[in-house]
Amino acid sequence: MSETIHISGATKEEKYLSLVPQIKALVEGETDLIANLANITAALKYGMDFFWVGFYLVKNDELVLGPFQGTVACTRIKNGKGVCGTSMQKKETIIVDDVDTFPGHIACSSASKSEIVVPVFNTKNELVAVLDVDDDKYATFDKTDQLHLEEICKIAGELL
Ligand code: SME
């Protein structure tokens, strides 16, 4: 395993295409969940230059903060609350261009302007976590992010 994630490419698509195989290699051969999720968040935060990247893990029908990179965040989110809880409830990816327009958005940082939340399923197809990515610019996330973050969440889900 190389110690540093190298991201080549100018476009977002190229960056993801460079990043995804490196994330696969990073978790290969390591069974510790916390170590792997922590490295995935670091690879995404610094590879893609997002404001905040973290996993919330499903525990007793609510979301509890897991490994993340960024500023301190709220520790528990109820099913159906905020963007993360809505993704948990609907079991689908949610893209928010402007967090202030999302009813019930939970503001962990006033710097956060747009957000994508992707559900993570284990190999039994049970919802086990969500991946939350925030940015300090409006409308950062689109179908390209959704496609590649869902691929990364599939890798993460196989660990859970
Ligand atoms: N904004 C999220 C809460 C988590 S923080 O952004 C890290 C939400 O509304 O669910």
Closest among 149, 119, 108, 131 to 55, alpha carbons compared: 131
Select from 81, 101, 106, 118 the residue to mutate for testing ligand 1; criterion: most ligand atoms less than 8 Å from CB.
106
Confidence of residue 3 (pLDDT cuts 50, 70, 90): low
List C-alpha distances in Å: 12 to 17, 37, 100: 9, 22, 25
pLDDT digits (tens, 9 = 90+) for 136-145: 999 999 999 9
Minimum CA distance residue for ligand 1 atom 5:
108
Arch. (CATH architecture) of 12-157: 2-Layer Sandwich (3.30)
Q: What is the pLDDT of residues 45-71, one digit of tens each?
A: 999 999 999 999 999 999 999 999 999
For a mutational test of ligand 1's pocket, the pick from 68, 75, 84, 105, i.e. the residue with the most ligand atoms closer than 8 A to its C-beta, is: 84
Domain boundaries, the chain: 12-157
Query: What's the predicted TM-score (pTM) here?
Result: 0.95
pLDDT of residue 8: 74
